[in-house]
Structure 1
Amino acid sequence: MHRTFLFSKIHHCTLTETNLEYVGSISIDQTLLDAAGIVPYEQVQVVNMNNGERLVTYAIPAPADSGAVELNGAAARLGTRGDRVIIMTYAQLTSEEIEGFEPRVVLVDQENRVIEDAPVVNASTPELCLT
């Protein structure tokens, strides 16, 4: 049996742009994709902290170190520049894979740069909550 778990999360990104006329997806700075272990065209869930919208789309790379996080196509209607979002991926794990598994959590600053010395937030540190 497989169960679905959070695999990775980029926490508190800031939307830098929306582009209604683009074919679709979310563009994410390649540095953030690498840090979270997200590969191009992988399915992602995006949660908008400003308006509560949730959507499922796929990730495409934006230039590394650009700080870009851009909603494209119809998804552009679900956020505005400056909104804070959480980007998540999930994985199907077997019972054997579950033991010891911890999702990869990437914390970013207001310019979508990885916070290198951020505390690791996982099941063993639930008291850590960033605002």
Structure 2
Amino acid sequence: MLIQRFKGKIHRVKVTEANLNYVGSITIDGKLLDAAGIIEGEKVQIVNNNNGERIETYTIRGEEGSGIICLNGAAARRCQPGDLVIIIAYGYMTTEEALAFEPKVVFPDDDNQI
């Protein structure tokens, strides 16, 4: 049996943009993606610490070192610039794999840098 377990997380990062007129997704600084072990196009859960919203979307790789965290499309209605969010990616694994697995967790500074 496979279980779903969190595999990577960007903890308390600041939303820099919200673009309602985009197709959809979240654009994330490429350095943050790499540090958290999240790839472009991967499904993520976004938890907004300011309003309690939880949404799911997929990632777009942003410019490395830019600090960009941009909610696109409908997700832009759930997060506004300045909100603090947690971005979580999950993976499927056996219980044995999950018990031995070490997730990657990133704690960005106030400028969304590692």
Q: Is residue 113 of structure 2 the alignment partner of residue 91 of structure 1?
A: no
Which segments of structure 1 move beyond 2 Å, counting only runs of 4 or more? Answer: none
Query: Where do residues 69-108 of structure 1 align in structure 2 (5 Å cutoff)?
Result: 69-108=69-108
Higher relative contact order (CA 8 A, sep 6+): 2
SS for the counterpart of 1:99 is helix
Larger radius of gyration: 1
- Report which of the two has the higher share of strand: 2
Deviation at 1:27, TM superposition (A): 0.2
The corresponding residue for 2:18 is: 18
Matches within 5 A, 1:41-120: 41-114=41-114
In the other structure, the counterpart of 2:2 is 2
Size of the aligned set, in residue pairs, is: 114
% identical aligned pairs = 53
Query: Matches of 1:106 and 1:47 in 2, distance apart?
Result: 15
**2:54 maps to amino acid:** R
Structure 1's unaligned 5+ residue stretches are: 115-131
Note the aligned Cα RMSD (angstroms): 0.7
* Unpaired stretches in structure 2, ≥5 consecutive residues: none
